[in-house]
A and B are shown apart, each in its own frame.
Chain A
Amino acid sequence: MSDDAEPRVVVALVGRPNAGKSSLFNRVTGGGARVGNFPGVTVDVLSARMRHGSREVEVVDLPGLYSLTDGDDDTDEGITRAWLLRLAASGARAVVVQVLDATQVALGLRLTRELAALPLPVALALTQRDAAERAGVRVDVDGLSADLGLPAVSVSARDPAARGAVLDLALAAADLDERARPAPAWDPDAVAAHRASRAKRDGPTLTARLDAVLLHPVLGSVCFVALMAALFAAVFLVADPATSVLDAATRRLGALASRHLASPTARSFVVDGLLGGAGTVLAFLPQIVILTVAMELLDASGYLSRGVFLVDRALRAVGLSGRAFVPLLTAHACAVPAITATRILRDPRERLVALLVLPLTTCSARVPTYGLLIAAFFAGRSAWAKSLVFVGLYAAGVVCSLVAAAVLRRLVVKGKPLPLVIEMPAYRAPRAVDVARVASRAAGRFVKEVGTTIMVVSAVLWALLTVPVPGRVVPADATPSQRIEASVAAGVGRAIEPVTRAAGFDWRINVGLVGSFGAREVMVGTLGVIWGIEGADDDPAPLASRLREARGPDGAPLYGLPTALALMAFFVVACQCMSTVAALRRETRSWRWPVFVVAYTYTLGFGLAVLVYRIARIAVG
């Protein structure tokens, strides 16, 4: 038969979460997958096209699900269900391959029974063969296949032969006529009891022994805190050298552009506007990659559900559940991937609250401003005191997000939270190749998502900080700080100064705040330009001493500790990030909630800044 006569076969991989579906998908596709562009699907559904023998095959990795009958359309269950129904209706040559954990046959077969009721051919790939053998589970695959009337194989994702086995199975099943299949009349528990035998084991399993420590009320909590601390240390210590390399590359590109652009305005636009924005995106990339790798390791090893178990009680007190800890943790690198991570929250109200408070956690874009303020106004203190301020700012972010969650749960998004039910999978050693693929996808996604917004914001800011207020003429030989003084941003900064004075912010700080409205990471660079200090982003020390020694017309210090603390308070709370706003718009499918977030965080941030400024003024005397 010629290739034209053989239509492409769509192979949809379906399975319970933790069944080993993604590992098997990576094994079958060899990593050449891309995020499929499927209409109406908001989550990443990976797909890969390949040839197997003479046949053209498209393998699709659908989100894990427990049942086809449960879940709103936004949840993983809903997405997979809708996708399968569309596939069945499309008339395409297709087959559903259920990835079934051999250590949990009875549970997996409940899903099989639902899948077998769909008008699509179904086949079973039993995975976790190694784990099953260790657990003393023996599955009679041929007997199982005969009982169910469905083709089945047993594979291990670690075995290269799994690829051929799964594709052979899928193609054979696709050629069967599913209409000839009787309605599933078998009982999952009876079939499992008949075909999967579990040998009596001596002593507790590895998972049970690990859980005795990792879920211990005291030891487990200590391990959890230590793990999180290690994770943060990795994000900062490991990411820093990588960031420097990327930073140097961007600067070299800037120097190159400067040499080839004659017009000062064009040069400034390319170097400060475009490359500045690109540099910002790249600077955060190592942290995103490290955090994604860490989260994937936690998830694939089975520890993530243990973390959920440990923190559930504490988060319940503020109207969230243990699951919310995943996005809250991610938000400490960047709110944008954290917003995507809220999809693991099944309760739509809990998910909304999490989305609304994520911007309050201390993301890495706040760190340069904190560093500058600490260097400027805590210069005389010990390294310990400085670290304490830094840790305090992180703690303030956590406290603010939790308090905001508790308040929003009572006033804005009312209702009881959905109680926690989460699977605690057996511990497993993650495969490096699977983790690497998740990390590279996260990096690509971050560059695309955050990158686009930051580039636009960066270009707009450049204009605000460059274009003079209408009517003002800037001499051709003006210094950068003279130019910025005449800019639209400075005009706005002066106009709002009477109000911001209450928090100790003068027009120069206001220009920084106008500049950081779209992306808070530009604060330090903008202040640097205002004070005529180049390269403040790379070395904040000269700018820090400049801020400390700045004197007003009366000779008194322009800024003091109260202003610094007020500015910190503002940065803890205010959602100065258009990438976050765009992500919130996408996830909530409305402008209502992103506008609400900007409004409440700016109001709260400024209110807090005023309060802190007043109290600090009294305390300082």
Chain B
Amino acid sequence: MDGPLPSGATTLSAVPVGGRAVVRALHVDEGLVRWLRAVGVFEGQGVTVLRRGAFGGPMHVRVDSGGEFAIDRALAAGLEVSEDEARG
């Protein structure tokens, strides 16, 4: 795990629908970090937010490697991202 989320950091949960960002750090439990990296959400990976589930439901994202995932909203709040400079 990458320690606690630095204050003021942008997280995946804050990326608007249609927005794109690059994962910088995973501030979640170690077990979850392993699982996220295994399925395909890891540092340096570009992520596009496709939609958000109603009433605080999961986020639907596409990663640049070609996979799409549903990620719990609270978990997404622990994924630090930076805005993608090469916005495409």
Contact = CB atoms under 8 A, between A and B. Distances in A.
Determine the interface band of chain A, counting residues with CB < 8 A from chain B.
35 or more
B60 A309 contact: yes
Given A107-B40, A420-B58, A309 B53 contact: yes
Determine the interface band of chain B, counting residues with CB < 8 A from chain A.
20 to 34
A100 to B, nearest CB: 12
A419 B60 contact: no
A218 to B, nearest CB: 9
B16 interface: no
Nearest to A198: B66
A617 interface: no
Interface string A38-60: 00000000000000000000000
B70 A422 contact: yes
A451 interface: no
Interface stretch (A65-73, A246-254, A434-442, A463-471): A65-73
Contacts of B41: 421
Given A67-B37, A215-B51, A309 B67 contact: no
Given A215-B51, A310-B53, A421 B72 contact: yes
Interface in B1-22: none
B70 A312 contact: yes
Given A66-B38, A69-B34, A418-B32, A312 B69 contact: no
Classify the interface of chain B: helix, strand, loop or mixed: mixed
Contact of A70 (B38, B65, B66, B67): B38
Contact of A312 (B35, B38, B53, B68): B53
B77 to A, nearest CB: 10
A310 B55 CA distance: 10
B61 to A, nearest CB: 9
Given A422-B69, A423-B39, A67 B55 contact: no
B71 A420 contact: yes
A181 interface: no
A308 B70 contact: yes
A227 B72 CA distance: 24
B58 A322 contact: yes
Interface string A104-119: 1111001000000000
A421 B42 CA distance: 13
A305 interface: yes
Given A211-B50, A420-B71, A312 B57 contact: yes
A424 B70 contact: yes
A452 to B, nearest CB: 37
Contacts of A419: 32, 71-72, 74-75
B65 A313 contact: no
A424 B68 CA distance: 5
Interface in A298-323: 305, 308-310, 312-313, 321-322
Interface of A: 66-67, 69-70, 77, 103-107, 110, 137, 189, 192, 198, 207-208, 211, 215, 217, 221, 305, 308-310, 312-313, 321-322, 346, 418-426
